[in-house]
Amino acid sequence: MKIFIRLMSCLLLSQLNVLAQQSKDNFSINGKQPVALVNVFLGSSGDHGQMSPAASYPFSMLSIGPQTYPKTHTGYEHLAKKFEGFTHNRFEGVGCQGSGGNILIKPFLGDDPSKTELLKVTEKASPGYYAVGFENKISAELSVLGNAGKHVYQFPKGNKGFYLDLSYAFNNAFVDEQHQIKGNTVTGWITSKTTCSVGKYKIYYSLSVVDGVSWKDNGNHQLVLMLPEDAVVAEINVALSSVSAEAAASAINKNSFDQFKLQSAIDWNRNLKKIEVKGNVTDARLFYSLLYRTMQSPYVISEKNGQYRNTKGDLKKDKQVHYNGWAIWDNYRTQLPLLSLINQSEYAGMVSSIAELYESGKKDYAGQNEPSNTVRSEHAIVVLLDAYRKGYPVDFKKIADSLVKEVNGLDYKSPDKALETSYDHWALAEIFAILKNKERADFYKNKALEYRKYWNKDFKDLNKNDVDRMQARGLYQGTIWQYRWFVPYDVKGLITLDGGEEAYLAHLDEFFAKDLYNHANEPDLQVPLMYNVTRAGYKSQYWMHQLAADTVIQNYFNDNSRGIGSYIGKIYKNEPEAYLRTMDDDAGAMSAWYVFTASGFSPACVGWPVYYLNVPLFPSLTYNLPKGRTFKIETENFDLKNKYIQAVFLNDKPFKRNYITQDEINAGGVLKIVSAAEPVKVSDTENWISSIEN
């Protein structure tokens, strides 16, 4: 095993060195490791993504990361020099000032933790790993493997120790805790408020210092452990669980730090290789840095024996792995559809877990007994319909009454809520059609069609003076212009309401010509794709490329209306100040949007297993699918100036459609997209369009 570890370490190190030397060369996955390309500092400064460089693991509730002063939503600010210590969970990329930040550990010198100041002088990180060195000669390395983690500290000689604050949490979200001390080990549970402080979650933990002496309880949830005076190295083992402190203790991993760190990198690499890109290495770095962000939530809450807790706090057991930690309103359009392709075994458990929310009394936001941090779950019904149509098992009959209860409780209090509610009504109508209950299917279809009167009332007339104003008429995070397009399940009907295709195209053109689109948030995320239903589908190809890889003008942010502090430049940048100001990654939503666009296809309407095509951002991408199948996308005449589709071939046969289905992707094969600098304005492709009347 040790020989294997050394060989793998040498392999990864050599590839890191090679990649560092070939920044201007092409990148091919063959013989190289995508984990070495990931920049975990992307989006970690200011309000430009709300991401952190914390050591993490795919879909793990545990992430060990630096707690800086000042901080962002995840507890870390890249520009900050002062550290308060290290915390053990955070929800990457979400709003409401973030959440998590449990179990603060601070290494200190001397006898008084408050007199040690941790000032950063060096820092490095990669998937599963974080390291920092301080002015006072303390250094720390962190790694996460599954729901277990390790800290390794280097100290100068002299008095030293660790300070542990069990009441620490972002935004004063701490509620309660209980702990037990046994020698150098602390076990217990912590309850904190969820994201946006709507609900509460409870996590169990076990934490021990190898070769430590004993924790001293100072009261007020604060502990101190002094290390031997001559000790220069100290290791901490930690694990989290949704089930019990005993389960957390059993998850502790006692392998060496190097073995632990390497296995985490290997596992991350295996997940990142689900998509293999070939092209410019600079672009590959951005791609894999964003792909990495799509695999951090939801969180695995099952133990190896199948035990887990549901959202009522009840202890359950199942062969299927269960998940929690949802941000569905944010990421149902992009991140979850991406996982349905690249993480299919995990996604089956996610779908089951979403369905179980209805058995546990699902609400739009978090409940009071969550097994992990979580955010929100609106449009979960749409996700379940989408999953079913992609071949994932969903027992709709079992949860039908709960689906009805949820949908019947939705409201039309604001213009955007009217459209959002109608989307869920449509999904429920489709589900009852699947269940062959025509009476109920017709009832909810007619309810969904009521969107027309709300659309005519608030979104038809664009001459009113508030149509470009953020949060006008009670809208949530958007404008009338941005929300008017949100009828994803009935674009055919939307075109009729808008006065026909000519008027629809004119309004879309005006929307983009006046830079009314807002990529800083999700409400109009689908609009660049909405030319695809018309004869001007080439304009969707243009805008998808432009937003993903070129200069754009953005007038909207999440704290103002149009025209205040416009931004001109690229949105997706591989740097700490990535994205737009106030643009959160929202649990992988914005990263997944880029991954789809770079791949050459994007979800047309969640609820239908259909993807619109665009020119990829790489000469070649390969999706590695279950059962050894691969789906390869090749771009002929590849050049970033060639934004338009000239022709498409699937398995060497002409493909006369502007869309592809999940089944066709899962079947494997080669999709060749012939690109060109000039658009094909007269196309003979079959254009997919959603319609409630189908």
pLDDT tens per residue, range 264-303? 999 999 999 999 999 999 999 999 999 999 999 999 999 9
Sheet of strand 275-280: strand arrangement: 26-28, 275-280, 620-624, 630-636, 669-676, 644-650, 653-654
Rounded to whole angstroms, what are the CA distances from 496 to 367, 442, 541, 542?
41, 21, 23, 25
Higher pLDDT pick, 313 / 564:
313
CA pair distance 169, 102, nearest whole angstrom: 5
**Per-residue three-class SS string for 385-440:** HHHHHCCCCCCHHHHHHHHHHHHHCCCCCCHHHHHHHHHHHHHHHHHHHHCCCHHH
What is the predicted pLDDT for the residue at 28?
72
Mean pLDDT of all residues in the chain? 94
What is the predicted pLDDT for the residue at 20?
40
Q: Is the pLDDT of residue 21 over 80?
A: no
Rounded to whole angstroms, what are the CA distances from 204 to 130, 244, 297, 365?
23, 5, 18, 22
Structure confidence at residue 3 as a pLDDT band (50, 70, 90): very low
- Look at strands 669-676 and 630-636 and give their pairing: parallel
Q: On the CB side of 309, how many CA atoms lie within 13 Å of its CA?
A: 21
Peptide bond into 298 cis (omega under 30): yes
What is the predicted pLDDT for the residue at 212?
79
What is the domain partition of the chain in residue ranges? 36-272, 275-676
Summarised one tens digit per residue, pLDDT across range 450-489 is: 999 999 999 999 999 999 999 999 998 899 999 999 999 9
What is the predicted pLDDT for the residue at 2?
46
Q: Determine phi and psi for 541, rounding to 5 degrees.
A: -60, -40
According to CATH, the topology of domain 275-676 is: GH92 mannosidase fold (3.30.2080)
Q: Is the pLDDT of residue 634 over 50?
A: yes
Supply the DSSP string of 87-128, one letter for each residue: ES-B-TT-STT--B--SEEEEEESS-GGG--EEEEEEEEETT
> Does residue 333 sit in helix, strand or coil?
coil
Structure confidence at residue 563 as a pLDDT band (50, 70, 90): low
Q: To 10 degrees, what angle do helices 257-272 and 2-21 make?
A: 60
Structure confidence at residue 98 as a pLDDT band (50, 70, 90): confident
What is the predicted pLDDT for the residue at 667?
98
Summarised one tens digit per residue, pLDDT across range 304-336 is: 999 999 999 999 999 999 999 999 999 999 999
- Look at strands 601-603 and 148-154 and give their pairing: unpaired
CA pair distance 153, 133, nearest whole angstrom: 10
Q: Are 262 and 9 in contact (CB under 8 A)?
A: yes
According to CATH, the topology of domain 36-272 is: Beta-galactosidase; Chain A, domain 5 (2.70.98)
Q: Is the pLDDT of residue 537 over 60?
A: yes
Summarised one tens digit per residue, pLDDT across range 427-459 is: 999 999 999 999 999 999 999 999 999 999 999
Q: Is the pLDDT of residue 402 over 60?
A: yes
Beta bridge partners of 316: 308
What is the predicted pLDDT for the residue at 364?
87
Q: Is the pLDDT of residue 13 over 70?
A: no
Q: How many residues does the chain have?
A: 694
What is the predicted pLDDT for the residue at 5?
47
- Least trusted range by pLDDT, from 251-260, 393-402, 560-569: 560-569
Instruction: Kindly state the average pLDDT of the residues 78-95.
Output: 96
Q: Is the pLDDT of residue 498 over 80?
A: yes
